[in-house]
């Protein structure tokens, strides 16, 4: 009886441990997915806004500009074809958005649906390339436009910083997530099979033990 009680306590503590770890993993999973969504939104703001840099006569972003009150419109790449820093920021901001979408796609499929070929490798490469791409947007403040008109950081720079923070947090916390759904489903299926096998085993052993006890009880005592 004492050993049975200890077994029950060990089993209860084991289940409590896995419940707590599953809850922590779920929290990290939620944090990762929220950070990925927020990172994409912030990166899209970097591409779509025209106030990455505030100029003396307007504002400028990687793709859009507002010069002399003309409104936030797409600026002509040919106008700054000789300014390689602006062209680099333009390309890298869009590349960061594409890589962020790739990272989110593979992370969502891996955690919620099914694994994809080379998924973890692609996620690692996308995460590193994403940070490099977004980092190469910052040199915009050293472009020829800023040297001519003078520049200061605008709201688009805040969005760029948030995008880097969100994607970096998602890359870090992705290692702390719980097991993917397909693995958890497989484990639960195996546990149910094991429980069913144990029940069938107990059902077979109980009649045998009862028959042995009944035989011992009916066996005549030896008289000395």
Tell me, what's the pLDDT at 157?
93
Neighbours of 70 (CB within 10 A): 11
Q: Residue 103, SS3?
A: helix
- Those residues of the chain that have pLDDT short of 70 are 1-19, 21-22, 76-82, 178-224
Cα-based angle 60, 62, 64 (whole degrees, multiple of 5):
55
pLDDT tens, 194-221? 666 666 666 666 555 555 555 555 555 5
The CA–CA distances, whole Å, from 94 to 17, 47, 80, 147 equal 44, 7, 17, 24
Confidence at residue 209, expressed as pLDDT on a 0 to 100 scale? 53
Nearest residue to 55 (alpha-carbon basis) of 137, 181, 146: 146
pLDDT value of residue 5: 45
**Whole-structure pTM over 0.85, yes or no?**
no
pLDDT tens-digit profile of 149-163?
888 999 999 999 999
* Predicted pLDDT of residue 218: 56
- Of 56, 53, 58, 86, nearest to 70 (Cα)? 58
What does pLDDT average to over the chain? Answer: 77
Tell me how many degrees the CA angle 152-154-158 measures, rounded to the nearest 5. Answer: 125
Pairing of strands 73-74, 64-67: antiparallel
Please report where in the chains the tokens 């099914």 appear, as a residue: 114
3-state DSSP assignment of residue 54? strand
Token pair, residue 21, equals: 């770890």
Per-residue tokens: 186: 């497989």
């Amino acid at each position: 009886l004492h050993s049975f009680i200890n077994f029950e306590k060990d089993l209860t503590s084991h289940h409590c441990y896995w419940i707590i770890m599953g809850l922590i993993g779920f929290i990290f999973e939620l944090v990762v997915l929220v950070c990925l969504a927020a990172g994409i939104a912030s990166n899209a703001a970097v591409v779509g806004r025209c106030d990455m840099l505030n100029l003396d006569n307007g504002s400028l972003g990687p793709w859009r500009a507002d010069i002399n009150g003309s409104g936030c419109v797409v600026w002509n790449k040919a106008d700054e074809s000789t300014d390689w820093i602006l062209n680099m920021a333009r390309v890298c901001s869009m590349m960061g958005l594409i890589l962020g979408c790739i990272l989110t796609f593979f992370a969502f499929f891996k955690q919620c649906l099914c694994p994809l070929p080379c998924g973890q490798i692609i996620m690692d490469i996308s995460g590193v390339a994403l940070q490099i791409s977004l980092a190469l947007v910052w040199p915009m403040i050293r472009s020829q436009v800023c040297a001519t008109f003078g520049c200061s950081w605008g709201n688009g720079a805040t969005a760029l910083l948030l995008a880097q923070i969100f994607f970096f947090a998602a890359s870090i916390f992705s290692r702390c997530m719980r097991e993917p759904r397909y693995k958890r489903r497989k484990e639960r299926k195996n546990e149910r099979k094991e429980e069913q096998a144990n029940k069938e085993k107990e059902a077979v052993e109980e009649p045998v033990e009862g028959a042995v006890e009944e035989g011992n009880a009916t066996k005549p005592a030896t008289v000395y």
